[in-house]
A and B are shown apart, each in its own frame.
Chain A
Amino acid sequence: DQQVKQNSPSLSVQEGRISILNCDYTNSMFDYFLWYKKYPAEGPTFLISISSIKDKNEDGRFTVFLNKSAKHLSLHIVPSQPGDSAVYFCAASETSYDKVIFGPGTSLSVIP
């Protein structure tokens, strides 16, 4: 049973609009959450993280929101750019120094 779920395998957004990628988790012990971005034929790269003591973390065009009571987090990309087209993996762990569990990924396409 997957502990980290990304229920949308794909998402298509117009350039300049907001992209919202969602992630749900089942393990209430998770306290640290990350997003990774992956281009074809490359390894994933770290994008942004958030710990459970916060409900929002922002880095430029990327913002992650965490709702611990709902066991839900989301990644907002504003404005979306064609270069953002990639697979986005949500990941979680119990501490910042623990094994990471990845979700299945969401493929984002930003249409010019």
Chain B
Amino acid sequence: DAGITQSPRYKITETGRQVTLMCHQTWSHSYMFWYRQDLGHGLRLIYYSAAADITDKGEVPDGYVVSRSKTENFPLTLESATRSQTSVYFCASSGLAGVNEQFFGPGTRLTVL
């Protein structure tokens, strides 16, 4: 599929489990981002990456790990899921237009029981 995709779209897991959310983009964009959306908070940046093998923390990085071995993929791992990580997660990418004009994936709704 062209564009930016996320998988799975829905995930239910239990506290303490490791969960990986996948993000794939076909535009060869340099920048990729992970956000979480929670009521009253809007979109909060978890981690971002300027290029393969370059990642940096956003506003709410605790409890999350990212990697970027290939330009097109940017997986987000919750090493030991907690209930407070129940949220909708969005991946985004941006290219030559600048970091700001980001293209978002459809989101993954994660529930931690």
Which residues of A are in contact with B by a Cβ distance under 8 Å?
4, 6, 32, 34, 41-46, 49, 89, 91, 93, 96-105
22 A–B contacts, CB within 8 A, in A order: A6-B42, A43-B4, A43-B105, A43-B106, A44-B90, A45-B103, A46-B102, A49-B100, A49-B101, A91-B43, A93-B99, A96-B100, A97-B98, A98-B99, A99-B45, A99-B48, A99-B99, A100-B45, A101-B59, A102-B35, A102-B43, A103-B42
Taking CB atoms and an 8 Å cut-off, the chain B residues in 50-106 that contact chain A are 58-59, 90, 92, 98-106
Give, as a whole number of angstroms, the nearest-CB distance from A91 to chain B. 8
Give Cα A72–Cα B1 distance, bound, in whole angstroms: 39
Residues of A near B105 (CB, < 8 A) are: 43
- Interface residue total, chain B, C-beta cutoff 8 A: 23
Q: Are A42 and B100 in contact (CB under 8 A)?
A: no
Q: Are A96 and B98 in contact (CB under 8 A)?
A: yes
Q: Are A45 and B99 in contact (CB under 8 A)?
A: no
Residues of B near A101 (CB, < 8 A) are: 45, 59
Residues of B near A49 (CB, < 8 A) are: 100-101
Q: A43-B90, A44-B90 are contacts. A100–B102 as well, Cβ < 8 Å? A: yes
Residues of B near A96 (CB, < 8 A) are: 98-100
Q: Are A34 and B100 in contact (CB under 8 A)?
A: yes
Known: A104-B42, A105-B42. 20 other contacts (CB 8 A): A34-B100, A34-B101, A42-B107, A43-B90, A43-B107, A45-B103, A46-B101, A46-B103, A89-B42, A91-B43, A91-B100, A93-B99, A97-B100, A99-B45, A99-B48, A99-B58, A100-B45, A100-B99, A102-B42, A104-B41
Q: Are B40 and A104 in contact (CB under 8 A)?
A: yes
Give, as a whole number of angstroms, the nearest-CB distance from B112 to chain A. 20
Give, as a whole number of angstroms, the nearest-CB distance from B23 to chain A. 11
